[in-house]
Structures are given as C-alpha cells and as structure tokens.
Structure 1
Amino acid sequence: MKAKDFDQQFEDGEDLTPYLDLSQAKRLGSDRQSISIDLPVWLLERINEEANRLGTTAQDVIQTSLAEHLAASEP
C-alpha cells in the first residue's frame, strides 16, 4: 500500500491493523521498575475504596493519579 493511501485510510478512521506487523510491537515507555513506598493507612484505604469504585486495582489508581498530576504540572 502506498503511504498516501495508508494516510487517507487513517484519516478516514479505517482499521489499519491488517496492514501492520504487530508481532514485535512495543509500547514506548512501558518498561517497568518496582518501588516500595510507605503510605499512611488512611490514604491506602482511600486508594482501595477508589479502586473498588472503579473496578480496578490500587496500583492502577496510584499510577493514573501520579500520571495525571505530573501531566497537569507540565509547563
């Protein structure tokens, strides 16, 4: 497929996955490193309550909250 046709299909919102080789695809910035953090009990309880409300994990709530906070503080 020519690049202009690919671009046009993308602009039209068409599914382009049949044209992609995803066998070795990686999400940029997805490397992980574990940390240990001490939190006050009340904060961990609130995080767990929020995770239950959202139907997700405490780890997801913490990661999302940190990412949103950092994005909001960017100049």
Structure 2
Amino acid sequence: MKKISGEDFDRKFDDGEDVSDYIDWTTARRPNLEPVQLTVTVMLGTKLRLERQAKELGVSVDSLLEDWLREKLGAARPSAAE
C-alpha cells in the first residue's frame, strides 16, 4: 500500500483519480452497516403473508423486510443524520 497525505488523498479523490492504491482494504469498513436486531409486532396474518412472499422470492423474511424498509426510507439517498 502506498503512503499519501490526507490532503493529497482528498484532492486525488475529488479529482476523480483512482485512490485504491492508498487504501488498506483488509481493514476498510463501511459505517452503519453492522446488523442490529429489531423487534416488530405484527398480526399473524401479516407474518404468514411475509413468510409466503419471502419463500416465493427465495429470500429470508429478514432480507425481505430489510429491502422493503430501505426502499421505503429511500436508502439511495442517505440522510445527513447517518
């Protein structure tokens, strides 16, 4: 891995240059992507419908809900609070 100052790194990044030679990918991480547990109470009928939909799509109920929540919250546009 090459060494570079933070200022030079920022300038190269802002100019659209490839900065991957300056990143240690073995320790890189993306913040706010750690899984957390969330408890939600729903009606039995809703749970059964979720399970049926997840099975049809070949995913877990957790994955289905995560995708739907991200979509509803507009994950493509993260807020300043994140």
Query: Into which bin does the TM-score normalised by the smaller protein fall?
Result: 0.5 to 0.7
> Which of 24, 45, 50 is equivalent to 2:48?
45
Structure 2 length-normalised TM:
0.57
One-letter identity of the residue aligned with 2:46: L
Q: Which runs of 4+ in 1 moved over 2 A?
A: none
Aligned-residue sequence identity (percent) comes to 18
The question of 1:65 aligning with 2:68 is answered yes
| CA RMSD, Structure 1 to Structure 2 (Å) | 2.9
Higher relative contact order (CA 8 A, sep 6+): 2
Aligned residues: 63
Please, which runs of 5 or more residues in structure 2 have no aligned partner? 3-11, 78-82
1:13 aligned partner: none
Pick the structure with more helix per residue: 1
1:23 aligned partner: 26
Please, which runs of 5 or more residues in structure 1 have no aligned partner? 11-16
Q: Deviation digits for residues 14-72 of structure 1, max 9, x if unmatched?
A: xxx7x553211212321232121111111111111111111110000111111111118
